[in-house]
C-alpha cells in the first residue's frame, strides 16, 4: 500500500517532496474508494437485473384453469347425479329431491377434500341449490309408441317449456314405408309414418320429426318439418334394423344430424305429442319440465313405476334441472359463479 505517513526521508530532508507524495497518495486512495463504491453499486444493479430476468421466466399461472376445471367437475357431477337419481323411479318427488340433495352434498364434500390438498377452498353453496320439477316418461319394454290403452294419437307432455334427454330406440321393421316427398306432397302423410310433434301452445305452429322406412333405399330415415314451414325434408338415415334417435340432441345412432333440431321454428311453451304410434315399435325415455303448470298427462299413461305395468309407458317424478352457485378460492384468486345443469337439453 502507498506510504501515507509523512516521514523523514534521508537525503531530501522530507519537506515538500515527502508531503507531495503523501498528497498524491491520498487523492489516489480517495479516488480508488469512490470507484470501488461505484463498482459495488454496478454489481448490485446487475444483480437486480438478473433477478428481474429470472422473474420473467417464471410461470405466471394463477390457477384460473383449475377454477374452470372445478366448475366443469361440478356441472358434470351434478348432471350425473340427476340422471342416476331420476333413473331410480322414485314414487314421490319429495323422496327424489331428498336423495338428489344428499348426493350433491356428498359430491361437494368429495371435491372440497380433493382441492383442500392443494390449499384451495372449492365448494358448492348448498343453500343456493334450486331444483326444477320435471317428469320422466318411459317406455321400458319394446312395444308400439301408443299410449297405455293403445291410442295412436296422444300427448306426452303439455304446456312445458323444457324437454331433455328424449332418446328412443326403434325397430325398422315396425316403421311405415314411405319417402319424404310423399309426406310433403299434400302434407297428408298418406302412408301413416310415425311422427313426434312439438306444437306451440298459443298458435298452430308445429315442428314435426317423422321416422319411417325410406321406400327407395330401405334405410331407417328421419324427416323434419320446421315450425312455420310446410316442407318436409329428410335429414338423415341409417342402414340398420334397430336405431337410436336422440330427439333433443339431434342425433341418429350417435351421429349428429344437421337439420334435426328439436322444436326448430317454435318458441314459448309447447306440447309434445306422438302420432301414428302404431307405425313405430321400441323403447324411449323423455324428461319434461313440469315446473309452473307444465304436465305429463295422467290419462293414457300409467302414473307409477314399471312394476305396475311394465308393458306400457309410465311416468315418474324427476328432477328436470338444477341451478346452484359455486365458489373457488385460492391464495391468488377468488371465483364465484352460478351454473344451470340440465343434461341432454337441445341447446347443450
Partner 1 sequence: MTDRGVSTTLSYVLTLGITAVLISGLVLAAGGIVESQQRSVAREELRVIGQQLGARLLAADRLARAGGTAVRVEYAAAGTAGGSDYRIEIRGGDPVRISLNATDVDAAVTVTVPLRTTAVDTSVRGGSVEIVLTGAGELEVRKA
Q: Which residues bind partner 1 (CB under 8 A)?
A: 16-17, 20, 23-24, 27-28, 30-31, 34-35, 38-39, 41-42, 45-46, 48-49, 52-53, 55-56, 60, 62, 64, 67-68, 71, 325, 327, 331-339
Q: Please, which residue, 123 or 179, has the CB nearer to partner 1?
A: 123
| CA–CA distance, 20 with 313 (Å, rounded to integer) | 118
Task: Report in angstroms how near the CB of residue 280 gets to partner 1 at its nearest.
Answer: 40
Q: Please, which residue, 23 or 229, has the CB nearer to partner 1?
A: 23
Q: Please, which residue, 17 or 239, has the CB nearer to partner 1?
A: 17
Q: Please, which residue, 48 or 185, has the CB nearer to partner 1?
A: 48
Task: Report in angstroms how near the CB of residue 128 gets to partner 1 at its nearest.
Answer: 11
Characterize 329-342 residue by residue with b for buried, 16 or more Cβ atoms within 10 angstroms of its Cβ, and e for exposed: bbeeeebeeeeebb
Task: Report in angstroms how near the CB of residue 328 gets to partner 1 at its nearest.
Answer: 9
DSSP-assigned letter for residue 106: H
Instruction: For residue 57, count other CB atoms closer than 10 A to its CB.
Output: 6
Task: Report in angstroms how near the CB of residue 322 gets to partner 1 at its nearest.
Answer: 15
Task: Report in angstroms how near the CB of residue 10 gets to partner 1 at its nearest.
Answer: 16
Instruction: For residue 92, count other CB atoms closer than 10 A to its CB.
Output: 10
Q: Please, which residue, 7 or 37, has the CB nearer to partner 1?
A: 37
- Those residues with Cβ within 8 angstroms of residue 233's Cβ, 6 or more apart along the chain or in another chain: 180, 223, 224, 225, 259
Q: 237 forms bridges with which residues in the sheet? A: 221
| CA–CA distance, 35 with 124 (Å, rounded to integer) | 64
Task: Report in angstroms how near the CB of residue 5 gets to partner 1 at its nearest.
Answer: 18
| CA–CA distance, 183 with 60 (Å, rounded to integer) | 61
Q: Please, which residue, 27 or 106, has the CB nearer to partner 1?
A: 27
**Ramachandran bin of 224, using left for φ above 0, alpha for ψ from -120 to 50, beta for the remaining angles:** beta
Assigned C-alpha cell, 19: 508531503
* Residue whose C-alpha is closest to residue 260's, from 288, 233, 231: 233
Amino acid at each position: 500500500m502507498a506510504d501515507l505517513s509523512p516521514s523523514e526521508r534521508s537525503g531530501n530532508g522530507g519537506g515538500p517532496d515527502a508531503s507531495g507524495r503523501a498528497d498524491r497518495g491520498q487523492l489516489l486512495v480517495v479516488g480508488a474508494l469512490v470507484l470501488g463504491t461505484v463498482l459495488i453499486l454496478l454489481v448490485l444493479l446487475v444483480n437486480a437485473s438478473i433477478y428481474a430476468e429470472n422473474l420473467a421466466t417464471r410461470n405466471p399461472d394463477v390457477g384460473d384453469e383449475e377454477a374452470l376445471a372445478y366448475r366443469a367437475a361440478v356441472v358434470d357431477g351434478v348432471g350425473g347425479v340427476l340422471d342416476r337419481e331420476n333413473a331410480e323411479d322414485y314414487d314421490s318427488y319429495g323422496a327424489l329431491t331428498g336423495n338428489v340433495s344428499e348426493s350433491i352434498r356428498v359430491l361437494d364434500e368429495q371435491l372440497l377434500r380433493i382441492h383442500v390438498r392443494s390449499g384451495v377452498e372449492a365448494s358448492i353453496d348448498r343453500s343456493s341449490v334450486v331444483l326444477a320439477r320435471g317428469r320422466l316418461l318411459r317406455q321400458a319394454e319394446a312395444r308400439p309408441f301408443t299410449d297405455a290403452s293403445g291410442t295412436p294419437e296422444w300427448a306426452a307432455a303439455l304446456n312445458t317449456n323444457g324437454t331433455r334427454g328424449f332418446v328412443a330406440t326403434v325397430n325398422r321393421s315396425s316403421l311405415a314405408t314411405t319417402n319424404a316427398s310423399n309426406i310433403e306432397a299434400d302434407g297428408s302423410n298418406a302412408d301413416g309414418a310415425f311422427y313426434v310433434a312439438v306444437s306451440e301452445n298459443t298458435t298452430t305452429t308445429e315442428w314435426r320429426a317423422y321416422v319411417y322406412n325410406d321406400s327407395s333405399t330401405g334405410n331407417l330415415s328421419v324427416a323434419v318439418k320446421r315450425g312455420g314451414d310446410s316442407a318436409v325434408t329428410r335429414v338423415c338415415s341409417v342402414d340398420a334394423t334397430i336405431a337410436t334417435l336422440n330427439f333433443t340432441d339431434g342425433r341418429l345412432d350417435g351421429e349428429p344430424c344437421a337439420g334435426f333440431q328439436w322444436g326448430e321454428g317454435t318458441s314459448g311453451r309447447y306440447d309434445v305429442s306422438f302420432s301414428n304410434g302404431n307405425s313405430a315399435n321400441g323403447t324411449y325415455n323423455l324428461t319434461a319440465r313440469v315446473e309452473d303448470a307444465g304436465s305429463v298427462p295422467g290419462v293414457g299413461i300409467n302414473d307409477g313405476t314399471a312394476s305396475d305395468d311394465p308393458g306400457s309407458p309410465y311416468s315418474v317424478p324427476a328432477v328436470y334441472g338444477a341451478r346452484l352457485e359455486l365458489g373457488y378460492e385460492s391464495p391468488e384468486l377468488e371465483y364465484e359463479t352460478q351454473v344451470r345443469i340440465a343434461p341432454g337439453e337441445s341447446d347443450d
